[in-house]
Amino acid sequence: MVSIITETEAKTLGVNIKRLERLDAFLREVTENGTHPSGVVRVLRYGKEIFSGAYGVAAPGGRPTAMDAIFPVASVTKVVTATLLAILQEDGVVDFCDRLNKYYPEFKGDKKDAVELWQLLCHSSGMSDEAMSKYGGDFMRDNFGLELSENSSREKINAAAQKARDFLKLPKAEGPAAVAEVEEILKLRAPLASDPHTAFEYCSTAYVLLGKLVERLTGEDIDSFAKRRLFDPLGMRDTHFSLPREKWPRVVKRDPSLCFAEWLNSDFVLSDTNGAGSLKTTMYDLTRLGQLYLDEGTLDGIEILSPATARLMASNQNAKLPDSFWFGRILGSAWGLGWHVRCGKRDDLGLLRSDRTFDHGGAGGAHLVIDPDAGLVFALYLVDREQFDAYPNHGRVANIIYSALK
């Protein structure tokens, strides 16, 4: 299923249709040859759709992928979590300059008093997923002689959590919430990997804490608050943290041999509500979110954020920090509040974008890109076979799109 604008619309919007048709040819090639078993792309210019297409199959040996296919977009979730906190800042409920330990008293010592919320949003708080995981593992081993891993049985994890709850003098409790409380406390107790705002380190745990903070500040679960203040006003009807069961059949499933298959295909992921990586959505809805930021906080007459806040979110907060080695590659540390920002740095999306471009990707093959100078928003999901092997083709998609603009 492919839709490309007419010649008349193309002239108005400054688009070369023949060049844009190359995008359809490229996406057909990479899905038909099995490089990416499934994919969906939607492109807007000046708020008008210029291209949309769905390719491949939505399940191994199954139905063709549709434009309304739902994908777990993993870390693109972080943009939504940051947006929810921005809404709360404009409501006067929170301030990005608040210290984290104002809301999490367990987070103390080792220069932690200097960690502020904005630093979590731009991955410069000094917090480290690796350091937090190591601290938790060391705690369980040193105090109880227990070795835990991602493959440990649920029974073993529950038993370990009960021992830890007794040690930490927490009230008696059982079940997933009891385990999660122990995990949170241990992560908050972990030492910083670097002094606050001296180095970039991508940290998903920081966004898990920020998602829980949204719930503490609002008294609502994150899904309800997001639906009321963001998703429903923007018409993002198929965007959820916890996906309603009646929509599960629309989720694109991965072949078990593909990376992240066990995780992204799981019922747990479809129901999870963490603020770092649990969003489920369509490419149509993602471009609605992107257009909101391109239009500086107001879409179709509905103001979600002020222009000042929308611009702040996409401005580089890490200009004085060195580039960093992350996800196995040397990449820039330029980051806004929730968004990766280009700022002249090389990354996975080619060299044709303007320096003001901002974006976010997600494990499994998701990407949302906004370029204010080109009036451009595009969202894509290319199901990857190996971790991050979709990103080079994200760059090729971007190059084809930019080559079609006048």
Q: What CATH number is attached to the domain comprising 66?
A: 3.40.710.10
Per-residue model confidence as pLDDT tens digits over 206-264: 999 999 999 999 999 999 999 999 999 999 999 999 999 999 999 999 999 998 888 88
Shared-domain flag, residues 364 and 253: yes
**If we measure between CA atoms, which residue out of 355, 235, 232, 347 comes closest to residue 285?**
235
Rounded distance between C-alpha atoms, residue 37 and residue 55, angstroms: 8
Rounded distance between C-alpha atoms, residue 353 and residue 344, angstroms: 9
What total of structural domains would you count in the chain?
A: 2
Among the residues of 92-128, which ranges form H helices?
Answer: 117-121
Shared-domain flag, residues 105 and 78: no
Q: Which of 206, 238, 257 is the last residue of a domain?
A: 206
φ, ψ (nearest 5 deg) of residue 358: -135, 155
> Percentage helix, strand, coil, to 5, in the chain?
45, 15, 40
Shared-domain flag, residues 366 and 387: yes
- DSSP designation for 255: P
Question: What pLDDT is recorded for position 139?
Answer: 84
* 273 within a domain of the structure (yes/no): yes
pLDDT (tens, 9 = 90+) of the chain, 406 residues, equals 899 999 999 999 999 999 999 999 999 999 999 999 999 999 999 999 999 999 999 998 889 999 999 999 999 999 999 999 999 999 999 999 999 999 999 999 889 999 999 999 999 999 999 999 888 888 888 887 777 666 667 787 778 888 888 888 888 877 777 778 888 888 999 999 999 999 999 999 999 999 999 999 999 999 999 999 999 999 999 999 999 999 999 999 999 999 888 888 899 899 999 999 999 999 999 999 999 999 999 999 999 999 999 999 999 999 999 887 666 555 668 899 999 998 766 677 888 989 899 999 999 999 999 999 999 999 999 999 887 777 889 999 999 999 999 9
Residues 296, 308 contacting (CB under 8 angstroms): no
* 155 within a domain of the structure (yes/no): yes
Question: What pLDDT is recorded for position 346?
Answer: 67
* 91 within a domain of the structure (yes/no): no
Q: Which two tokens stand for residue 253?
A: 């499933």
User: Contacts for 223-228 with beta carbons within 8 Å, 24 or more apart?
Assistant: 223/273, 225/84, 226/80, 226/84
Question: What pLDDT is recorded for position 47?
Answer: 98
Residues 134, 150 contacting (CB under 8 angstroms): no
For 386, counting Cβ atoms within 10 Å of its Cβ (0-12 exposed, 13-18 middle, 19+ buried), the class is exposed
Shared-domain flag, residues 270 and 343: yes
- DSSP designation for 231: I
Shared-domain flag, residues 359 and 249: yes
Shared-domain flag, residues 254 and 130: no
Question: What single-letter amino acid sits at 268?
Answer: F
Shared-domain flag, residues 201 and 228: no
Residues 17, 5 contacting (CB under 8 angstroms): yes
Shared-domain flag, residues 368 and 254: yes
Question: What pLDDT is recorded for position 81?
Answer: 98
Q: Which of 157, 181, 206 is the last residue of a domain?
A: 206
Question: What pLDDT is recorded for position 182?
Answer: 84
Shared-domain flag, residues 105 and 156: yes
The model carries a pTM of: 0.94
* 88 within a domain of the structure (yes/no): no
In Å, how far from its chain's centre is CA 329?
A: 19
Element (H, E) at 209: helix 204-218
Q: Which of 206, 228, 246 is the last residue of a domain?
A: 206
* 325 within a domain of the structure (yes/no): yes
* 271 within a domain of the structure (yes/no): yes
* 94 within a domain of the structure (yes/no): no
Shared-domain flag, residues 122 and 51: no
Shared-domain flag, residues 226 and 367: yes
Question: What pLDDT is recorded for position 378?
Answer: 98
Shared-domain flag, residues 276 and 324: yes
* 95 within a domain of the structure (yes/no): no
Q: Which domain holds residue 143?
A: 101-206
